[in-house]
Amino acid sequence: MARLIAVSIDCRNEAARQTFEEIFSRRRDYLVTKGQGTGAVDMLLLELDELRPQQTFGHIRELLSASPDLEVFLTASRTDPQILLEAFRLGVKEFLPQPLTRQEVEPALARFEERFNGRVSGAEMQSGRVVSVIGARGGVGTSTVATNLATSVQQASQRESAALVDLDLHGGDLGLFLDLHASQGLKHLSKDISRLDETIIRSSLAQHSSGLHLLTSGYEGFDEVAPTTGSTMRVIGLLRSMHRHVFVDCGHVLESAVKEALDCSDQIIVVTTLSLPTIRRTKRLLEALGAWQYQAGKVLVVVNRYVNDQKELLSETEDMLGLRMAGLIPNDYPTASEALDHGKPLTIMASRTTIGQWYLRGTDQLIGDKAAVKGTAVGKEPSKTASFFGRYLPSFGLETKGKPSAV
């Protein structure tokens, strides 16, 4: 599914509650939240007050008035046809008789998922585009790439807002790249995702002078607790409903929160450099992403700090990986370092430099709708002649035979 489904349970019958929670625990796309039907939830399991059914109906009326897309599942130990008719007229989607059984619940959930996917797919056509940036290893410039891609997109179209998320849970520093400070970030938002809404998200964003909105990490990497399962997907889902473009700096570690971001992304950009250890890590990362069976064209690879005398190495790297690089970001480490020291994006501080121009002119080609076609594996045949890699790859445990899993 495109995002996590939040479920709330308002049920006095403990056996019914436990049955529902057990069924959801086996489904990775669902999250049972705290509270009783309040906050931003997608489904509510509500127990009918059989002595005062009108009180329950009044509650349903209020909930659906405030949240028209909320789906209410009603449960009760007795079934009065007149009561059920009134419930369905109010907007209740499913009725589950007690005692709850898997045979009753599973078909109801299947029907719900069909309705939910139809709604979400329609909404996503109007929602923003999510691009996740992940490094093949630390130190390849992932944060620099993510920051400048996001800033470039925001500068190109002031009418369409862009957001940047720091998902590096081991000491995210995106605030330094933009000279922004925020008291709250992803760590704070993940504490209770059942109550997250656009207002709470908006209060946690820091705005750059370019118009770009930043959601900081809040994690320092010292014995910190990882985000609650599903919180990353939910935060990104809300951000994409508020912004035309959402960029996520995923760092370089494939952990659960990063997997959530990658799953709900429209595009994944892998940042690498043309050094042997990094190339080795790039191949391993592409294999891992390939095992997740993302659709063709979702994963692109860009080379950071590229210099022209690396053309032969670039060609052999493409041969080995079985794809063409989607972008070659020119090497200008001194300028990039100076921009970071001043807390300014390259596209603003050094817009006339070669690297600044690359971001300003090349971003649309990289992340635009046609980028997927350019970046897909194109089936380059591995070179059969002796090469630079031929001398070193065996010691790195790499082979040029065959192609990585389709990503």
The residue extents of the domains of the chain are 5-123, 128-396
Q: Are 129 and 163 in contact (CB under 8 A)?
A: no
pLDDT at res. 278: 96
Backbone angles phi, psi at 272, to 5 degrees: -140, 170
Give the span between the Cα atoms of 148 and 299, in whole angstroms.
19
Does pLDDT of 13 surpass 60? yes
Q: Which residues contact 146 (CB under 8 A, 6 or more apart)?
A: 133, 164, 174, 247, 248, 249
406, two tokens: 């389709």
Q: Are strands 299-306 and 267-272 parallel, antiparallel or unpaired?
A: parallel
pLDDT at res. 224: 67
Q: Are 287 and 405 in contact (CB under 8 A)?
A: yes
Supply the pTM of this predicted model: 0.72
Confidence of residue 187 (pLDDT cuts 50, 70, 90): confident
Share above pLDDT 70 across residues of the chain, in percent, rounded to a whole number: 84
Number of alpha helices (DSSP H) and beta strands (DSSP E) in the chain? 17, 13
In terms of C-beta density within 10 A (0-12 exposed, 13-18 middle, 19 or more buried), how is residue 374 classed? middle
- The arithmetic mean of pLDDT across residues 56-65, rounded, is 92
The CATH architecture to which 128-396 belongs is 3-Layer(aba) Sandwich (3.40)
Give the span between the Cα atoms of 180 and 205, in whole angstroms.
10
Helix (H) or strand (E) holding 87: helix 81-90
Which 8-state DSSP code applies to residue 11?
-
Give the span between the Cα atoms of 304 and 326, in whole angstroms.
11
Give the span between the Cα atoms of 359 and 23, in whole angstroms.
47
Sign for the pseudo-dihedral over CA of 230, 235, 238, 240 = negative
Please compute Rg for the chain using Cα positions: 25
Does this chain's domain 5-123 share its CATH topology with 128-396? yes
Cross-sheet strand order for the sheet of 71-76: 30-32, 5-10, 43-47, 71-76, 94-97
The CATH architecture to which 5-123 belongs is 3-Layer(aba) Sandwich (3.40)
Tens digit of pLDDT for each residue in 77-109? Answer: 887 888 889 999 999 999 999 988 888 899 999
Give the span between the Cα atoms of 52 and 321, in whole angstroms.
66
In terms of C-beta density within 10 A (0-12 exposed, 13-18 middle, 19 or more buried), how is residue 273 classed? buried
pLDDT at res. 119: 75
Q: At what angle do helices 354-367 and 142-156 cross, to 10 degrees?
A: 80
- Output the DSSP codes for 236-258: HHHHHHH-SEEEEE-TT---HHH
Does pLDDT of 37 surpass 60? no
Q: Which of 130-139, 250-259, 301-310, 363-372 has the lowest mean pLDDT?
A: 363-372
Q: Mean pLDDT for the chain?
A: 83
